[in-house]
Amino acid sequence: MSCFTDILLQNENNCFVRFIGVNRSYTEDIAELDRLYGSWDYVRVNGLMPPQDKDELERLRHEAIGFENSFEGARVLALYRSSVPSVNPSIEKNLVISLLYWSALLETEKGVFVYSGKTGYKEYLFCYFAHLKGWQVLMLMPVGEGRLSDVLLEKSDRIALGEETAADIPQFVPRLNHAPHRPPAPAHTEDHTGERSAVTGNIRVKMPPRPGRGGSPVRDSRANTPPRPNSRVSIPPRPDRNGAPPFGADRGRVPPRPSAPSRPAAPPMNSGVGWRGLPPRPANNTPQTAPRPAGRVLSWSDIAGLSGSVVKLEALGYAGAVSAHGSGVAISSYGYILTGFSLLRDSMQIKVKVERDDKTYYARVIKYHTEHDLAVIKIERLLTPLPIFTGTPEPSIGQPIYLIGSGGGRLNNIYEGTITGFRSYYGYNNIVFSAQQEFGSGGGALLNNCGELIGLCFGKAYGVHAADQAVTSRLFEPFVRGFLV
């Protein structure tokens, strides 16, 4: 299997990789990539042409007005402005028009985008734009990276294949049954009998209408067809499975079967009684003894030892000033971090500080969900992930919990408390707890006494009413399932 397909299989959710140089099996690896991924959500181009049509340009100029307000647009323009010494408004507007024009290639929400043409800052920024939209992006650079700045190049991973030299990369030909590119069917059909197809080269032949089912003529010629004779056959009754006479015959000697007990009527809604007459469940707001988790109960010092899996986040604005503080939880040993999307919404860069590490890391946004307020970011560093709670029993009122977060701008404070209730949130129950929080705890870890991640804290940045709440692991575990390695 080629290095291209290996990268896609290892990063099924999102990746942005540039391949420098050429190896011996370069064209064969590209052909294998086309064969394995050449479906609806696969795009490979050898170049990107700017728009030429005047009407199209006018439409794109109107769309460019709101481009910076989008999540992807704000980050692409921030990267562009940080990579050039002086920003020219006219050049920036032309960049936005080109990005919007090329975005028509991204027909689906996710897919694989492979670019193998001449790479300038516009083409690179479009690949970054596709990466932000959730696509897996591969950039083939056989002759090298050119004059791209280091600020641009740090957004993607680099893999050197071999010598930097020109390569003859064939054009990608989509399959004939590629549905998104198939033209719509015409409103009326024309007779092309005897003509040769421009696609297959075959000569069209007009087939006569075939008879309907049972030998009857087709629907159009049934007007003069006489009706079928009544062919109903009388089938004599047969004895039942126990050898008794058929229903309606003399069954006086057959003892009657015992009648099955009748099913009770359905209980009224919200009565707490099920079909089998079970007693009603206690309400969630009644105090009860919290069951012990199935895992090993950790001591305070053991819980404190897990703080290295929680990182401190700083969101930077346009001028590079810190606009928000927050926390994040390591969910993968390969640098993937779970946090709240609200922290990243208006940020241009995300600084990450890891416990017992003096280096500052800059994160990339990999995945996000605006309604559930979740986001996955990635840094180039190995991390120790926290185990996510997926077992039983469910968290309950009175259960002890621990909160680890960077409240007040300090790295990894640990708070202790208990679960005091639940609040409905998108069909799940937010966990309400008694531990005190400070600004910067949003995105921190809520742990049970076994050290398992049962919730992601909102923090005071979400409002005073949400300062004591956390998103349950039942909601975010499916969101991060593809990163749990």
Structural domain of residue 456, as residue ranges?
A: 400-483
Confirm whether 467 is domain-assigned: yes
The model's pLDDT over 109-148, given as tens digits with 9 standing for 90+, comes to 788 999 988 888 899 999 999 999 889 999 999 988 888 8
> Which of 160, 195, 220 is the endpoint of a domain?
160
Residue with tokens 């409240």: 407
pTM tops 0.75: no
Query: Which residue spans within 252-321 are E strands per DSSP?
Result: 310-316
Q: Are 37 and 143 contained in the same domain?
A: yes
Beta strands at 15-20 and 157-160: parallel, antiparallel or unpaired:
parallel
Q: For residue 334, give the CATH number of its domain.
A: 2.40.10.10
The pLDDT of residue 86 is 77
Distance CA 136, CA 106 (A): 11
Task: Answer yes or no: are the C-beta atoms of 7 and 158 closer than 8 Å.
Answer: no
> Which of 348, 378, 408 is the endpoint of a domain?
378
Q: How many CA atoms lie within 13 A of 186 on its CB side?
A: 4
The pLDDT of residue 402 is 92
Please report, in angstroms and rounded to a whole number, the separation of the first and last CA atoms in the chain.
Answer: 22
Q: Are 463 and 324 contained in the same domain?
A: no
Chain-centre distance for alpha carbon 47: 28
Confirm whether 124 is domain-assigned: yes
Task: Answer yes or no: are the C-beta atoms of 448 and 395 closer than 8 Å.
Answer: yes
The pLDDT of residue 429 is 79
The pLDDT of residue 373 is 85
Confirm whether 355 is domain-assigned: yes
The CB density around residue 121, as the number of other CB atoms within 10 Å, is 18
Q: Which two tokens stand for residue 78?
A: 């921030």
DSSP state of 211: P
Return the closest-CA partner of residue 375 out of 363, 385, 389, 384: 363
Cis peptide preceding 385, ω within 30 of 0: no
Q: Are 357 and 444 contained in the same domain?
A: no
Give the CA distances from residue 130 to residues 33, 146, 366, 375, 379, in Å, rounded to whole numbers and listed in that order.
19, 21, 11, 17, 19
Q: Are 324 and 437 contained in the same domain?
A: no
Contacts (Cβ under 8 Å, ≥6 apart) of 8: 15, 37, 112, 136, 138
Q: Are 331 and 419 contained in the same domain?
A: no
Angle CA(294)–CA(299)–CA(304) in degrees, nearest 5? 115
Confirm whether 252 is domain-assigned: no
The pLDDT of residue 195 is 56
Return the closest-CA partner of residue 220 out of 209, 228, 206: 209
Distance CA 124, CA 126 (A): 5
The pLDDT of residue 96 is 92
H/E segment holding residue 44: strand 42-45
Confirm whether 137 is domain-assigned: yes
Q: Are 417 and 473 contained in the same domain?
A: yes
Task: Answer yes or no: are the C-beta atoms of 330 and 481 closer than 8 Å.
Answer: no
One-letter amino acid at 164 equals: E
Count of structural domains within the chain: 3
| Backbone φ, ψ for residue 293 (5° rounding) | -60, 160
The model's pLDDT over 33-77, given as tens digits with 9 standing for 90+, comes to 888 887 668 899 988 888 888 888 888 988 888 888 888 888 999
Name the stretches of the chain with pLDDT < 50.
Answer: 176-189, 197-200, 213-223, 225, 247-252, 254, 260-293, 460-465
| Backbone φ, ψ for residue 195 (5° rounding) | -85, 155
Q: Are 331 and 369 contained in the same domain?
A: yes
Confirm whether 185 is domain-assigned: no
Distance CA 50, CA 102 (A): 8
Q: Are 469 and 411 contained in the same domain?
A: yes
Confirm whether 240 is domain-assigned: no
Contacts (Cβ under 8 Å, ≥6 apart) of 482: 12, 13
Q: Are 16 and 154 contained in the same domain?
A: yes
Distance CA 154, CA 380 (A): 10
Distance CA 141, CA 169 (A): 11
